[in-house]
Amino acid sequence: MLKSLLIANRGEIACRIIATCRRLGIRTIAVYSDADVYARHVRHADEAVHVGGAAASESYLNAERIIAAAKETGAEAIHPGYGFLSENADFADAVTGAGLIWGGPKAETIRSMGLKDEAKRIAEEAGVPVLPGYRDEAQDAETLEGEAERIGYPLLIKAVAGGGGRGIRLVSKKADMKGELESAIREAKSSFGDGRVMLEKLVERPRHIEVQVFGDSHGGAVHLYERDCSLQRRRQKVVEEAPAPGMPEDVRKAMTDAAVKLAKAVGYEGAGTVEFIVDGARPLAKDTFWFLEMNTRLQVEHPVTEYITGTDLVEWQLRVASGEKIPLKQKDIPLNGHAIEARICAEAPADSFRPGAGRLTAFDLGNVERLSDNMEEFDSSEMMDNDFNQYRLDTGFTAGDTVPAVYDSMIAKTIVKSWDREGAIEALSESLGRSIVAGIPCNIGFLKRCLDHEVFRAGEHHVNWIADEIETLTARDEDKRKAAADLVAQALLHPAGDGPWDITDGWRMNAAPRRTIRLNVDGELMDLSPAADALPEDLPVASISAHSYAVAADGDTVLVDVPDYEAEAEAIAGGDKVSAPMPGKLIDLRVAAGDAVKKDQVVAVMEAMKMEHSLTAPRDGTIKATGADVGEQVGEGAVLVELEEA
């Protein structure tokens, strides 16, 4: 077994890998960027190395610097996690070329499965069912349009080197083919540097079911059953579960056998996922699934597989990378209970899922505990205890941490296991409903509404279902929001003492009693008059400051503040400072000390969440000082420009 491991990743997957390494006694080395100096994975690793700037291209994608960090710290191996360099065959070659152990599959396997047309050719040769389509070399428009006629509409255009939903276009009819083809090629070139595309017959009501496979250097290959990942938004997974709902045993055997065939055909080593597209318009059968692609890495959703099989897939990866055989034979891999996972993201569903960033002023995810809070005690075998619901939180953050603006918006995964699917959904829904996340926008309410919907509960959802129900799933419950505000109002109006002047029952001479308090509820001033004898709804509350509260309202966090009239008066007067509204990069500074400025004049421009934000002077005045240089990464609240006192 390895003695030391460098984790070439960040966030929740880095913390999750550290959890297993702690249990196995493996020394861990984290890498971090300028944006992650104080990140949780850095705090929990045994050692940490700075590898570059906040942009991923300067740090987590800097292969040369990461390998150098491994050599500097005496690491024996590199684990890539997922994303970043995890499926980069050249990086895998560079790692082994540097005399280090690579924690993923062989570079040639990554290459063969990385191109969708080549992967499908290999799958066909291995006897794995593949959708009708076109995957040949000719890429001229005439050939592609002719092949589209042969396949029939509707169909999908897919980038050969694609991933993450990019380079994909739906073509419903012949008249749309030319324009969508040009668009797909243009996006493929921009995203992957490869404009080649393939065509594929469209399954109009698709389900997404994938099989976890594992191989070793001794020729062994097994599966760990299937996961259903059909709940998706814009081809990005939202909720995953294992096993797949409604899966007959004969179909499970056919699908898992096909996945293992493919793994053996490419001499697969380590953790991999074989993804299938399934015709959701029909009951699951042996002729309703087709090979989609193979992901040559650990998947985000691997915890649900760990829960139903009682395994630790990261431990398996490390053992196989060390040259050991797969820890279990196929016949010894159990399938018990049902597990479900929700991806918690820093995004605003009601605002077209706009990503956000900032400091987590509150971060309490219901019933779950962080996997890495008790890293040394983590034992995958405990996952097989079915006597009660089990909860797990994989995250790279805690309250007080800052979510950077430059990386993926996923900040955590909440995972629950129960006896059956109904119990698992119910337990996860309840936990999400009691969650509080403040300081950033968050999608927890959206996730809970997905879980509670009758279509999802019945297992009748499909890949396009969220798009069909988007208005319902993103609409906040206004009654719950009002209940959250009333809860805080009731508490603030509660008598502070026992004297007659402390009574706050709203008594008035010659008039009916009335109690009113003005509060700021999610940025909106509201005059609230809760009845003195009304019992407030029992909702979880977090105190952010002496005058600011966060309330869990069915998954949506409601922020309730006592208005700060002194600060408002100062704001009306203009104030003296221009501060960064969120973490980001200062890309333009248009003033210097001594300059005269007018109110609303643009003084600085920031780049955050891949967008530019112009910052303006709060009043007429003279610049006293600037607080950052162009090109500098700044945190939320950093003073960028300060005016002379009025």
**Cβ-contact 362, 438 below 8 angstroms:** yes
Residue 239 phi/psi, 5° resolution? -135, 135
d(CA 294, CA 49): 32
d(CA 303, CA 423): 17
Residue bearing tokens 């809070």 = 373
- Residue 527, number of CB atoms within 10 A of its CB: 9
- Crossing angle of helices 249-265/116-125, nearest 10°? 110
d(CA 489, CA 519): 8
Contacts of 241 (CB under 8 A, 6+ apart): 227, 228, 304, 338, 339, 340, 341, 421, 424
Q: Give Cα 598 to chain centroid, integer Å.
A: 42
- As a whole number of Å, the CA-based R_g of the chain is 27
Structure tokens at 492: 């603030």
d(CA 411, CA 197): 33
> In the sheet where 166-171 sits, what is the strand order?
133-134, 197-201, 155-163, 166-171
Give me the catalytic one of 27, 169, 227, 297.
Answer: 297
Residue 404: asked if its preceding bond is cis (omega within 30°), the reply is no
Structure tokens at 366: 């219901």
- Residue 388, number of CB atoms within 10 A of its CB: 10
DSSP codes of every residue in 605-637: EEEETTEEEEEE-SSSEEEEEE---TT-EE-TT
d(CA 512, CA 357): 47
d(CA 408, CA 102): 24
d(CA 237, CA 214): 22
Structure tokens at 211: 């099989």
Q: Find, among 259, 271, 266, the residue nearest to 226 by Cα.
A: 259
Q: Find, among 399, 392, 398, 434, the residue nearest to 413 by Cα.
A: 392
**Three-state DSSP string of 428-476:** HHHHHHCEEEECCCCCHHHHHHHHHCHHHHCCCCCCCHHHHCHHHHHCC
d(CA 224, CA 211): 7
* Residue 297 bears catalytic tag: yes
d(CA 93, CA 597): 56
Residues assigned a catalytic role: 297
